[in-house]
Amino acid sequence: MAEEQNLKNHARIDPMFHGFLFIVGLFLLGASIYALIRDFSFMGIVRVVGVIWALVLMFKVRLYSIKVQDRVIRLEERLRMAQLLPDATRPRIGELSESQLIALRFASDGELPQLVKKTLDEKLDAKTIKQSVQNWRPDYFRV
């Protein structure tokens, strides 16, 4: 990685998805709507519906893969917490929400126990958790 990951730059942009697929999809949608307006026909309607179908498919496939990654992150973090948290806090792992677990993945092993306790006691949201991380643990595998 060229740059060290942190709070400001941890969101990833996938050039193929966010650039090519999305931009070309919007162009195809616009072009098919324009063609339908200029020459209304059954095939024009089919083209518009086909492009909308492809766009929805593209986004659903991406959302499914992100959901799978979230499930894996949840599992990884629960296992990590089972090893790192003190006995008194360990039974409370189940109280953490999915978004809290996903945000806590950025906390270093040294600060995780205290941040988990603070998250549970103060009901911190994901953004606040990420802002509270002092020693960022990068996640370069998220797509």
Confirm if 35 and 44 have CB atoms less than 8 A apart: yes
Is 35 exposed, middle or buried (CB count within 10 Å of its CB: 0-12, 13-18, 19+)? middle
Residue 99: inside a domain, yes or no?
Answer: yes
Number of domains in the chain: 2
What is the structure's pLDDT at 4?
77
Instruction: Supply the pLDDT for residue 9.
Output: 62
Residue 38 located in a structural domain = yes
Which parts of the chain sit beneath pLDDT 70?
1-3, 6-9, 12
pTM of the predicted protein model: 0.76
pLDDT (0 to 100) of residue 138 = 82
The parent domain of residue 131 ranges over 85-137
Alpha-carbon distance of 9 to 6, in angstroms, equals: 6
Over residues 101-124, the pLDDT tens digits come to 999 999 999 999 999 999 999 999
Residue 78 included in any domain? no
